[in-house]
Chains A and B, each alone.
Chain A
């Protein structure tokens, strides 16, 4: 089973690496752009960065792509493999390749093990994985990931601000509490919903198995949106006053 999952994960990578086919084109582009002061290495680096981010999201979102496309969910569940082993067999190879990409990216970019980047990539991956069951179209899944990421970006300063307002932290610029709270409020419920669905995954239409998402993930997401709408403006005002 692991072998097939590795093959699938590599296929997802290949789909992302199609982007790198654009690199020779980028080179010729570079010639044209050279008088703007841009270098080929910069373009290539940017494209590679996008590829890595895209792969993180895509690898997560496509966790059950083969089963959905091939109508193989029933077959998969009839095999003598526990639900948890199935998920681990799927996540393992994808994470391994993601870690490999991160390593290459870090080394080539001279960044020497950029851990915060790794955390970010893992976050993208797990958010995407959490959505992979709920959303049928992988394209929408990837878009959903970036939507969630955008929400995360807006919510962490908002939550930092709220914490500051509540007197939990002394300075509005210590962002870690916002990041942690945002991570927990956004990723936590989705991950929990995902695990609950997986634990009881059945060979029936997925839309009939989505209750954990409606009960856990959706309410907390709406709460975060509400907080952003209410307090982000105040946060911006406070930041302006500080500068």
Chain B
């Protein structure tokens, strides 16, 4: 179990997290989402150990041993690496630090990256795949992926997802993905965590969320249901409700199922309207 307890963190004077708590059981595939700047990347960085909480603790599963960073695969949106190194040098450096002889570089070869190219010369897509390849070679127990999937082309995206799925099929790896877009990964997600102003606004299994968040098309706000956000149209209005409870006494309404993108938009829309 990955446990974050009473965590405080700020950038200089700007507080991002305060008394933050979160538990993630081993093997769970989580989506971390929220508006831009809410702190998704910051949370991933804190778990990865490149940022340190001002107060509070982060406890890693026992299977990750004394030095959790050895078993964490972190792909940040910065795709940070020693840019002046060539791909071969970067890989050798990585192996050196992690005590590996070599890595299985078929992903890199598959995407036609050449060993002699400097890291800074690679495209974003190539760099993302390079990171992914390096991380997979460590056989990680915890994967932290910051919105990189949608900055790469559709072909590389599919390769990325296939490798991720293969890893999940192979071992009980905990995955935490911070995304603004989740069209491609919707069917991978088990748990949705929506952040708002440094706190967790929504934390539900994805199936529950799909049952509980519905769009109701009606002339007037449906009675007895909590409305997250709404959109008015000339002939009718759309009300996004949570939690949805079936109420047969409500007449003249239409209940529509939503995909994850619409669900999250409904929550966030409420934030902007408030």
Q: Report A's interface with B, CB cutoff 8 A.
A: 1, 3-4, 66-67, 69-75, 77-81, 200, 202-204, 208
Minimum distance in angstroms from B26 CB to a CB of chain A: 19
Q: Which of B91-99, B206-214, B227-235 contacts A (4 or more CB under 8 A)?
A: B91-99
Q: Which residues of B contact A200 (CB under 8 A)?
A: 52
Number of interface residues of B (CB under 8 A): 26
Contact of A202 with B52 at beta-carbon distance under 8 Å, contacts A73-B80, A78-B69 already known: yes
12 chain-A/chain-B pairs, Cβ below 8 angstroms:
A4-B96, A70-B82, A71-B80, A72-B80, A72-B82, A73-B80, A74-B50, A75-B80, A77-B49, A79-B69, A80-B67, A80-B97
Q: Which residues of B contact A67 (CB under 8 A)?
A: 82
Besides A70-B84, A72-B80, A78-B80, 6 new A-B residue pairs in contact (Cβ under 8 A), listed by A number? A1-B96, A1-B97, A4-B96, A78-B48, A80-B98, A200-B52
* Whole-angstrom CA separation of A69 from B96 in the bound complex: 22
* Whole-angstrom CA separation of A43 from B127 in the bound complex: 50
* Whole-angstrom CA separation of A74 from B80 in the bound complex: 6
- Whether a CB of chain A sits under 8 angstroms from the CB of B11 is yes
Main SS of chain A's interface residues? helix
B83 to A, closest residue via Cβ: A70
Minimum distance in angstroms from A91 CB to a CB of chain B: 18
Q: Which one of B11, B50, B67, B81 lies within 8 Å of A70 (CB-CB)?
A: B81
Q: Which one of A4, A77, A204 lies within 8 Å of B93 (CB-CB)?
A: A4
Minimum distance in angstroms from B7 CB to a CB of chain A: 14
Contact of A72 with B50 at beta-carbon distance under 8 Å, contacts A80-B67, A208-B12 already known: no
* Whole-angstrom CA separation of A150 from B249 in the bound complex: 87
Q: Report B's interface with A, CB cutoff 8 A.
A: 11-12, 45, 48-52, 67, 69-70, 72, 74, 76, 78, 80-85, 93, 96-98, 120
* Whole-angstrom CA separation of A191 from B50 in the bound complex: 23
* Whole-angstrom CA separation of A1 from B72 in the bound complex: 19
* Whole-angstrom CA separation of A222 from B48 in the bound complex: 39
Could you tell me if A71 and B74 are in contact, using CB atoms closer than 8 angstroms? no
Q: Which residues of B contact A70 (CB under 8 A)?
A: 81-85, 120
Minimum distance in angstroms from A225 CB to a CB of chain B: 27
* Whole-angstrom CA separation of A75 from B85 in the bound complex: 13
Could you tell me if A208 and B72 are in contact, using CB atoms closer than 8 angstroms? no
* Whole-angstrom CA separation of A75 from B70 in the bound complex: 13
Could you tell me if B70 and A203 are in contact, using CB atoms closer than 8 angstroms? no
Could you tell me if A74 and B84 are in contact, using CB atoms closer than 8 angstroms? no
Contact of A202 with B74 at beta-carbon distance under 8 Å, contacts A73-B80, A74-B80 already known: no
Contact of A72 with B52 at beta-carbon distance under 8 Å, contacts A78-B74, A203-B45, A204-B11 already known: no
Contact of A208 with B97 at beta-carbon distance under 8 Å, contacts A70-B81, A73-B80 already known: no
Q: Which residues of A contact B93 (CB under 8 A)?
A: 1, 4
Q: Which one of A1, A72, A77 lies within 8 Å of B83 (CB-CB)?
A: A72
Most buried by B among A73, A80, A200: A80
Q: Which residues of B contact A78 (CB under 8 A)?
A: 48-50, 69, 72, 74, 80
* Whole-angstrom CA separation of A81 from B49 in the bound complex: 11
* Whole-angstrom CA separation of A17 from B39 in the bound complex: 47
Minimum distance in angstroms from B40 CB to a CB of chain A: 15
Q: Which residues of B contact A203 (CB under 8 A)?
A: 45, 50-51, 80
Minimum distance in angstroms from B81 CB to a CB of chain A: 5
Q: Which residues of A contact B12 (CB under 8 A)?
A: 208
Could you tell me if B52 and A69 are in contact, using CB atoms closer than 8 angstroms? no
